[in-house]
Structure 1
C-alpha cells in the first residue's frame, strides 16, 4: 500500500514538473523569443516584489507587455482547457461506459458552433462586445445539451446511455447543418472567416476576462469529481453491480453529465472547438494507471494540460507570421494516435 501511494505521488510530482517547465518554455516562444531568466524575473516581481529599480525596469519593458498581455492569458487558458477537456472525457467515458465517448458527445461542440456562428454572422449578443461570440457559443452549447437530456430521460433508465448517444448524434447533425446554412447564406466575408477560424479552435483571442469564470468552475468540478471517484469506478461496473456496492447511478448521472456539459461549454465558448483531447488523453493515461479514477482523473487533467500547452506552442511556431488553429493540430496528432491505441494490444477499457 505504501509503495502504491509513493508511486502515485511520484507520478503526480513528475507530471507537475513537466507541466511547469512546459509552461515556462511556452512563455518564451513566439514572434519575440524571451529568455528564461527574464520570464522568471517578471513572474517573480509581478507576484512578490516590484519596488526595486530592477523590477520596475523589467516590468516596464516591451517583453513584459508581451508576457502579461498576450502570452500568459492564452497559456493559462491552454492549461485550463486541456485539463477540462481531458477531465470531461474521463467522466463521460465512465458514465456512458463507452470508450468512444468524449466531452462533446452531448452536442456541446455543435451547439456552441451554431451559437457562435449566429453571433458572428447575425450579430446576436453584439451588445456584449468582445464576449458576444463566447456568450452565443455558451448559450448554444447549453441549449443543445439540455435538449439531449430532455429527449433521453423521457423513457426508462435502461436505455439512457444508448438514447443519450443517439440524441447527441442527431442534434450534432442538425446543428452542424444549421451552422453550414448560416455560413452559406452569409454575405460578410470577414464574418465567414471569423466563424470558420472560431470553429477550428484557437487560443489567440483569449483575454484575462475569460480566466476567472473558467478557472473557478474547473477547480470546483475537478475537486468534486476526484472526491467522488468511487461513483465513477462503480459506473464502469454497470447499474446492477453499482447498486450492490451501494451507489445509485441514476441519481448521480444527470448531475455529473450536467456538470461536464457546463464545464466544457465554458471552455468551448472561450477557445472554440478543440477535438480529440478528451478522447485520446484518457486512453493514454488509462494504459499507464488502469481504471481507478482516483489516479485516472488527476493524471488525465495534468496530461491534458501538458498536451494542450505543446499544441499551442506548435500552433504559434509552425507557420511564419500567422497562427495555425489549434483544433487542426489536435486532430492531426490525436486522430492517428487514437488509431494506434485502437490497434495496440495494450489498449483496454473497463477491464483493467
Structure 2
C-alpha cells in the first residue's frame, strides 16, 4: 500500500521557511512605507512620513502635519486603503488555502463555493431594492456580507443532505447556489434596468474597490483577519489530514466532517468581511496559495503564514497599480486581480501534473 506524504516544494527545511517569513514580513513593511508615497498627487517623501509620525505619536508641527490637504491625502486616503489591502489580501489568501483543503481541489478558491455570488446578490438587492438601509451608510456592504454568509451556510446544509458533507458535495452545492444567486442578480438588473445609476453601482461593487477605506472599517477587518489567521495557524495538522482524504484521516482517529463545517464558517466570515469592506475581489485566494505550494510545498504549517504575508503584499501592490496605471482614473482592483488570476487558473488546469494533497494529480 502506497504511503501518503505531504510533498515538499522547491525549497526545503524550517530555516528556509522562517527566512522566507522574515523576508516577506520585512518586504511588507518596506512596501507599505514606500507605497504610501506613491499616488497621483506628488508629495515629498519626508512630508509623508512626518504626517504619519505626527498622527501616530504627536511628533512634529501640528499646523503643517496635523491638518490640511497633505495630511488628509496621507492619513485619510492612501494609508487607510493600503492597510485595507493588506488585511483583505491576507484574508482572501488564507480563505483560499482553507477552501482548497476542505474540498481537496487545487483549483478551488473562496468564490468557487458561491460566496462571491452570494455577496453580489446581497449588494444588488441593497442597491436596486433599497433593502437594508436601516443598517446605515454602509448598508450595501453589510447586505453583501449577509449574502456571502447565508450562501456559505446554504452550501453546508445542501452538502450535508443525504449524508455527511464530502469535498465533491461541497463543490456541487457551491456551484448550484452560485448559479441561483447569479440568476437572481441578473433578474433584478433586468426588471429594474430603469433605476437611475443602479447598473453602474452594481458593476462598481462587483468589480471591487478599496476607495472607501476608513480607519473604522480597517480596525474591524484587521481584527477579523488576525483572529482568522491565528486560528488556522493552530489547525495545520487537521488541514494536512484533509489533503490526505477521509479514509486516511479516519485511520488516524480524526473525523473531518465537523472540521470541514467549522473551517468553512470561519473562512466565510473572513471573506464576508472582506466583501463588506471592498466588494468582490476574485482570484487572490487561488493564485497566492499555488505560488506558495510550488515554492514551499503543501504543509499547512508553512502555507498559512507564508500565504498571509504574500497575499497581503500582492494586494498592496495591486492597489498601487490600480491607482497609477491609468491617468486621471482608478482601475477597479477586481479587474486587475482577475487579469492576473485567470491566466494562472488556465495554466494550472492545462498542466499535466500538480503536487497537491500528497500525490500528483
TM-score bracket for this pair, using the shorter chain length: over 0.9
Number of equivalenced pairs? 347
Shift of 1:129: 3.0
Q: 1:179 aligns with which of 160, 174, 185?
A: 185
C-alpha contact (below 8 Å) 1:24/1:39 kept by paired residues: no
Shift of 1:338: 3.2
Can you give the 5+ residue segments of structure 1 that lack an aligned partner in the other structure? none
Partner residue, 1:42: 51
TM-score of the aligned structures, taking structure 1 as reference length? 0.93
C-alpha contact (below 8 Å) 1:23/1:75 kept by paired residues: yes
Q: Which has the higher contact order (CA 8 A, sep 6+)?
A: 2
Q: 1:6-85 residue pairs with structure 2 within 5 A? A: 6-50=15-59, 52=60, 54=61, 56-85=63-92
Q: 1:190-229 residue pairs with structure 2 within 5 A? A: 190-229=197-236
Shift of 1:33: 2.6
C-alpha contact (below 8 Å) 1:106/1:261 kept by paired residues: no
Change (3 A) 1:295 1:35: farther
CA RMSD of aligned residues (A): 1.8
Can you give the 5+ residue segments of structure 2 that lack an aligned partner in the other structure? 1-11
Shift of 1:346: 7.7
C-alpha contact (below 8 Å) 1:201/1:274 kept by paired residues: yes
Higher helix share: 1
**Secondary structure of the residue that 1:148 maps to in structure 2?**
helix
**Secondary structure of the residue that 2:197 maps to in structure 1?**
helix
Greater Cα shift, 284-293 or 203-212: 203-212
Partner residue, 2:3: none
C-alpha contact (below 8 Å) 1:24/1:36 kept by paired residues: no
Change (3 A) 1:347 1:238: closer
C-alpha contact (below 8 Å) 1:108/1:141 kept by paired residues: yes
Shift of 1:325: 0.8
